[in-house]
């Protein structure tokens, strides 16, 4: 505990604001960050529209610099408020934060790299973090656990889809040939996935009767096997709901779920999803800071 006490107070405060969402200041920070991210995405989008960029180039450029500098400040603040900065820097979000901030600086020195500013769109992933709000917490946790439980089955399924695509793609390449757009096997496999997933762009389409017959089989196969992942997730989900009910048969399960987890984030190891009444991080034992 003495280890925690020596940690500067303003750093703790800043940590709570930046990493957590339980205090009013923390919530405000998250909302501002959310708006900044959305604004930066819209800027990148507008800039990519040539007619718009020609008109408002200066405005867009200045706005981008403001956003870039704000993100840079946030990046530095995140580093200095964590005890083990490298843990953050090399974490998933740390790398995304860097990748979405640095291209603008690079574009000063290297011409032609400006398009990379679009990498900023990756920042949208942080939205998942920001949405650690009470209401959606339970919903997304349930979703995540249903997907997690059916992970192995979905992997087997996707594997089967890929293998079917390669085999059918190769057959279509042999049947249709280059003259009908199936110029090589990878392209045939691409077409096969387009068909199997029922997307059907139509940029390539079979023209020989045999090719159309095989396409028919692929389509019906694709139409039928969509039932498999749906069935899996659905069953897993029903089961998860059932298990939940059994475990919490004596208490209000909904309320329980909301109590269980909060948005606190350990100052030492950045672990999240602590229990609401937790005093210490369950990963590193470091004390958690309440208001």
Handedness of CA 236, 242, 246, 252 (dihedral sign): positive
Residues 87-116 vs its own copies: string with x where CB under 8 A? ----------------------------xx
* Window contacting its own copies (CB under 8 A); options: 18-26, 74-82, 207-215, 274-282: 207-215
- For residue 21, the Cα-to-chain-centroid distance in whole angstroms is 19
Q: What CA–CA distances, in Å, run from 20 to 37, 75, 174, 258, 267?
A: 18, 15, 58, 16, 10
Decide: is 229 part of the binding site for its own copies (CB under 8 A): yes
> Applying CB under 8 A, does 18 fall inside the site for its own copies?
no
Residue 246: helix, strand or coil by DSSP?
helix
Binders of its own copies in range 209-228 (CB under 8 A): 209, 212-213, 215-216, 219-220, 222-224, 226-228
**Cα R_g (the chain), whole angstroms:** 25
Q: Does 122 bind its own copies (CB under 8 A)?
A: yes
Q: How far is CA 109 from the centre of its chain?
A: 31
| Interacting residue with its own copies among 130, 233, 269, 278 (CB under 8 A) | 233
Which is nearest to 222 in space by CA: 203, 201, 202, 194? Answer: 194
Nearer to its own copies, 36 or 124 (CB): 124
72 or 183: whose CB is closer to its own copies? 183
Q: Does 146 help bind its own copies (rule: CB under 8 A)? A: yes
Distance CA 132, CA 123 (A): 16
Pattern 40-79, binding to its own copies, x per CB under 8 A?
-x--xx--xxx-----------------------------
CA 253 – CA 249 distance, rounded (Å) = 8
Site for its own copies contains 31 (CB under 8 A): no
Residue of 174, 252, 282, 285 interacting with its own copies (CB under 8 A): 174
Nearer to its own copies by Cβ, of 73 and 152: the residue is 152
What 8-state DSSP symbol labels residue 113? -
Assess 251 for contact with its own copies (CB under 8 A).
Answer: no
> Which of residues 196 and 270 has its CB atom nearest to its own copies in the complex?
196
Position among 59, 65, 90, 136 found at the interface with its own copies (CB under 8 A): 136
- Regarding 155 and contact with its own copies (CB under 8 A), the answer is yes
Question: With contacts defined by CB under 8 A, how many residues of the chain interact with its own copies?
Answer: 89
**Is 156 among the residues that bind its own copies (CB under 8 A)?**
yes
Asked if 189 and 166 count as a contact pair (C-beta separation under 8 A), the reply is yes
User: Residue 72 burial (CB < 10 Å; 0-12/13-18/19+)?
Assistant: middle
Is 255 one of the binding residues for its own copies (CB under 8 A)? no
| Angle, alpha carbons 78-82-87 (nearest 5°) | 95
């Amino acid at each position: 505990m003495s280890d925690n006490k020596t940690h500067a107070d303003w750093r703790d405060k800043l940590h709570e604001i930046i990493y957590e969402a339980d205090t009013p200041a923390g919530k405000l920070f998250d909302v501002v960050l959310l708006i900044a991210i959305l604004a930066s995405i819209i800027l990148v989008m507008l800039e990519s529209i040539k007619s718009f960029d020609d008109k408002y180039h200066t405005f867009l450029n200045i706005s981008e610099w403001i956003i870039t500098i704000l993100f840079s400040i946030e990046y530095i603040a995140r580093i200095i408020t964590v005890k083990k900065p490298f843990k953050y820097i090399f974490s998933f979000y740390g790398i995304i934060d860097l990748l979405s901030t640095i291209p603008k600086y690079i574009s000063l020195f290297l011409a032609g790299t400006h398009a990379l500013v679009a990498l900023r769109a990756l920042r949208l992933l942080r939205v998942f973090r920001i949405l650690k709000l009470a209401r959606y917490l339970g919903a997304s946790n349930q979703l995540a656990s249903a997907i997690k439980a059916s992970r192995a089955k979905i992997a087997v399924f996707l594997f089967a889809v890929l293998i079917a695509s390669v085999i059918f793609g190769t057959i279509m390449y042999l049947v249709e040939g280059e003259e009908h757009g199936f110029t090589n096997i990878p392209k045939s496999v691409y077409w096969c996935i387009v068909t199997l997933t029922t997307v059907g762009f139509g940029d390539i389409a079979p023209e020989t009767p045999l090719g159309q017959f095989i396409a028919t089989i692929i389509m019906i196969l694709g139409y039928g096997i969509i039932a498999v992942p749906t069935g899996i997730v659905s069953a897993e989900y029903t089961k998860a709901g059932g298990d939940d009910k059994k475990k919490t048969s004596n208490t209000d399960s909904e309320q329980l779920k909301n109590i269980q987890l909060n948005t606190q984030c350990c100052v030492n190891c950045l672990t999240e999803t602590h229990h609401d009444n937790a005093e210490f991080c369950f990963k590193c034992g470091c004390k958690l800071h309440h208001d």
